[in-house]
Amino acid sequence: MSHRSRLASLLILAGAVAAACAKTPPAPAPAPAQAAPTVDSSRLRDSLANAKRMSDSAAAEHERQAAAVAAARSALVAKVFFDYDKSDITDQGKAILDAKVPILNTNPGIRIRVEGDCDRRGSDEYNLALGQRRAAAAKRYLTDHGIDAGRIDIISYGAERPVAEGDSEDAYSQNRRDEFAIVAGGDNLKVAGQ
Amino acid sequence: MTAGLALVASVIAVAGPAMAQDTSRTGVHIGLNYQPGTKPGVLVLPIAGAGGDSAHAIIERDLDFADAMNVITGIDQGMGDAAVNFALVQKLGAAAVVQASLAPSSLHVIVYDVAKKRQLLTRDFAVPATPGAADWRLVIHDASDWIQQAITGSRGIAATRIAFIRDGQIYITDTDGADTRPVTQKGGGPLSPQWHPTGRYLTYSFFAPRGTQIAVLDLTSGSAHALAATPTGLNSTPAFTPDGNSIVYTHGDENGTDLYLVPAFSNDPTRRITVGHGTDNTQPTFSPDGQRLAFTSGRSGHPEVYIVNIDGTEPDLLTPFQFGDDIYRASPNWSPDGRLVVFESRVNGRFQIETIALRDRTVRQLTSDGINEDPKWAPDSRHVVFTSNRTGVRQLFILDSESGRTRQLTLGGPARLSAWSRSMGSP
C-alpha cells in the first residue's frame, strides 16, 4: 500500500469514527434491564480513544508530510545568485543546486525551467546572452549530477524582469539570479526517502 | 512686423534679371565651396500655398538639425516665385537661398547659390493630399534632404525614421520626434528592432514560452511572422544583411551564444558564423559591403567588440582591450561609410558612447553626461541616436559626432534600443 493510500484510509477511518460519535442515536424504547444488551462502556471508550489517537497521528503525519513537500518545493525553486557579469556557480549556489538533485531524482516526472536574469547595468542585449549563460550554468551543474538534460529547459530574461528596483548593490545582487520554475509533474511532489 | 514685411519685399526683387536656368530635373551641383567644419548660412524663404507655413517650419528645423548649415530665420511672409534679391540675402549672411512653393499635389523647390547667383537644385516633389499627415511630412523631410545635398554635398537624414522600445512595444518616430506611434501590440516583450534596408520591415526578438524568438514585421501590412529557425533557446539581436535577404542573429543554448545567418523570407537552413566555445557572441552589425561583422563577445572574459568575416574566418579584437583591463565594451554599430564603429564603453563606472576608427583604431568619447548606451548611426555616418538617462529616465537622444551638439528625440515613457532606418526619401 502506498503511503498516500495508507494515509487516505486512516483519514477515512478517523472521519467515520468522528461521524459516529457526533450523531446522537434516537432514544431507545424502554426495555427490561435484563433483556437489554449490555453496553461495554470501557470497550467503547478504548475504541474511541484509539480512533482519536489514530486520527491525531494521521493529522500529524499529514502535517509533517505537507511540510516536507513544501520544503522540497521551496528547495526546488530556490534561486541561485551570481556575481556581476559572471555566470560561475558560487559555493552558495552549489549548495542550493545540491538540494535540488535528490528531489529531482525522487520525482522523475518533474520538469523544470531555469530562468537566467541580470542586474540592469550594461547592455540590455548583452545581458540576454549573460542570462542565458547563467541559466545554462545551473543546468550543466544539475546534469553533471545525474539529472537528465531533457528535463531542464533554460530561458534568459536578461535584465527584463527585475525583482528589485533601483541602483543599489542590494537590488543588483537580488536581480543577478537564476529562477527555477516547475513546468510539469509538480502536482504530486514526493519527498526523498519515502 | 512692418520691418519684416519691408525686408521680405526687398529680399524678393520685383523684377530681377533672368538667370540661367538649370533645367535638369535632378540638377545637383556642388556649387558652394563647402568646407566640412564650416557652416554655410541658409535662408529658407516663406513658402506659398496650403500648408506652406508648416512646410517652411519643417524645412528650417530639418536644416538646423542637420548641423551642417546655419539657418537664417526671421523672414515670415510668403512672396511666391519672384526672383531673389541676391545682394540683400548675401548681406543677411546667406550662402544659399531656398525658394519653394506648394501646389495641391507638388512642392516646387529651387536652391540658389547666392555668390554665383545660380541654381544649385530645381526639383518637384509629389505631395500627398493632407498637409501635416505622416506621409506629407515625409515628403517635406525629403525636400530638406535634397536641399542639404545641394548645399553641402551630403544627403540629409530628415526623411528617415527611428524605431525603439517603449513599454514592451516597438515604436517608430520621425527624426523630429513627430508621429511617434507603436507598431506592435502589447505582449511578448519585443527587443532590438532593426530596419530592413528598404524601410518596409523590422526584425526583432520577442519572448515566447520556450525561449526568445526572432520575428519579421511588415510595416506595410502590419503582420509579423516568427522565423521557423528560432523556435527554442535564446535568439536575439537580429540584423538584416545589407542586401536585405538574410538575417544574422544570436542563438544561445547550453553551450554559449553564437552568430548565425538565416534567410529572412524563406525557411532555408541557418549557417553558423562564430564559434565562441561557450562564450557570449551577440549584437552583430554589418560593414557596408556586407562582408564583415562587428559584434560583442565575452571571449576574453568580459565584453569587447570584435570583427569577423561573414564566413566566420579571421575573428579579430577591435576595441583596445589590454591584459588586466576589465572595461566593458558592447553594442557596436558600423557606420554606413565604413569608417567608424560606435559602441558603448564603461568609463569610471558609467557607460559612454565612443567611436573607434577602422583605419587607425583611434578612440573618441562622445558623451559624458549620465549613462549612455546602444548607439546607432544615422545614414549620414555623422549623427548617432542613443539611449541616455541624463534627464532621470531613459530617453533617446541624437548627437552630432562632429560638433557634439545633442538634442532629445523622445518624450514620455522610457525609451531604449533604437534603430535608425536608411533614407525613405526619393531616389
With CA atoms as reference, the chain B residue closest to A135 would be B254
In this complex, the residue of A126, A130, A157 whose CB is nearest that of residue B283 is A126
Quote the mean pLDDT of chain B. 89
pTM of the model: 0.84
Decide: helix, strand or coil at residue B211: strand
Report ipTM for this prediction: 0.87
Residue B268 identity (one-letter amino acid): D
Quick one: pLDDT at residue A17? 42
Rounded percentage of chain B residues whose pLDDT exceeds 90 = 73
With CA atoms as reference, the chain A residue closest to B211 would be A155
Does the domain made of A81-184 have the CATH classification 3.30.1330.60?
yes
**Mutate which: B192, B207, B254, vs A, most A CBs within 10 A:** B254
Cell reading at A139 = 543546468
**Mutate which: B234, B248, B302, B393, vs A, most A CBs within 10 A:** B234
Tens digits of residue pLDDT in B147-202:
999 999 999 999 999 999 999 999 999 999 999 999 999 888 999 999 999 999 99
Give all strands of the β-sheet with B329-334 in edge-to-edge order.
B329-334, B340-347, B350-357, B363-365
DSSP B363-409: EEE---SS-EEEEEE-TTSSEEEEEE-TTSS-EEEEEETTT--EEE-
- Domains of chain B, start order: 2-152 (3.40.50.10070), 161-420 (2.120.10.30)
Tens digits of residue pLDDT in B249-278:
999 998 889 999 999 998 888 889 988 888
Is B374's CB within 8 Å of A125's CB? yes
Contact call for residues B147 and B121 (beta carbons, < 8 A): yes
Q: Does B193 touch chain A (CB under 8 A)?
A: no
**Mutate which: B203, B281, B282, vs A, most A CBs within 10 A:** B282
With CA atoms as reference, the chain B residue closest to A113 would be B210
With CA atoms as reference, the chain B residue closest to A88 would be B301
Q: Does B164 touch chain A (CB under 8 A)?
A: no
Is A129's CB within 8 Å of B280's CB? yes
* Residues of B in Cβ contact (< 8 Å) with A153: 210
| pLDDT digit string (tens) for chain A, length 194 residues | 444 445 444 444 444 444 444 444 444 454 444 555 566 778 888 888 888 888 888 888 889 989 999 999 999 999 999 999 999 999 999 999 999 999 999 999 999 999 999 999 999 999 999 999 999 999 999 999 999 999 999 999 999 999 999 889 999 999 999 999 999 998 888 886 55
The residue ranges of every structural domain in chain A are 3-23+40-72, 81-184
Residues B326 and A116: their CA atoms lie apart, in Å, by 23
